[in-house]
Amino acid sequence: MEITLRRHFAVDEATIGTMTIGDFTCFTLEDVIRTEKVKSRTAIFAGTYPVILCESPRFSDSYAKKGLGRIVPLVDKVPQFSGIRIHVGNKAEHTDGCILVGDSWDRKSAFIGGSASAFKRLMKVLGTAKGGIRILISNDVGRPKDKMGHPPLPLYFMMRGGGMCVPA
């Protein structure tokens, strides 16, 4: 199974993107893209990485209590990074280099909403994977005001309230 993460906008101290797996689409929020790593304040480098579904020493207990399950995707084999997860959160302070997922994006700030529901839907999709999972991350970053005229198709449909499914 392949996860595609496209980074679209730099907003404040965060990077907003979209994640797709087949018909599943959600917003993402990550730290700033930098050429030099700054601990807990830098998005992982663009590239392709294996994803492992496993328990997290940091998240599993609290997620289980919230009804999110015990499994949190781990993005593995990222140069200069370790412990990178795809998880719930709303703003850059929640990332520590990880990838946050959400159903909505406040276009005026670096904030995503509906994170728990997006995470549950993501885990449902990832739970159907037959074999390995990998994530392909690409950068196409600008400022929101520069790019709003021609957003990527999944982002366009989400912004228009077209739901999470994008026509083929």
Q: Quickly count: other Cβ atoms within 10 Å of residue 154's Cβ.
A: 22
- The pLDDT confidence band at residue 164, using thresholds 50, 70 and 90, is very low
Q: Is residue 162 part of a domain?
A: no
Exposure of 16 in the CB half-sphere (CA atoms within 13 A): 27
Size of the chain, expressed as the number of residues it contains: 168
Instruction: Answer whether 106's CB lies under 8 Å from 115's CB.
Output: no
Q: Is residue 167 part of a domain?
A: no
Whether residue 124 has pLDDT greater than 60: yes
Q: Is residue 104 part of a domain?
A: yes
How confident is the model at residue 32, as a pLDDT? 93
**Count of H helices and E strands in the chain?**
4, 10
* Structural domain of 143: 2-157
Q: Is residue 163 part of a domain?
A: no
Q: Is residue 130 part of a domain?
A: yes
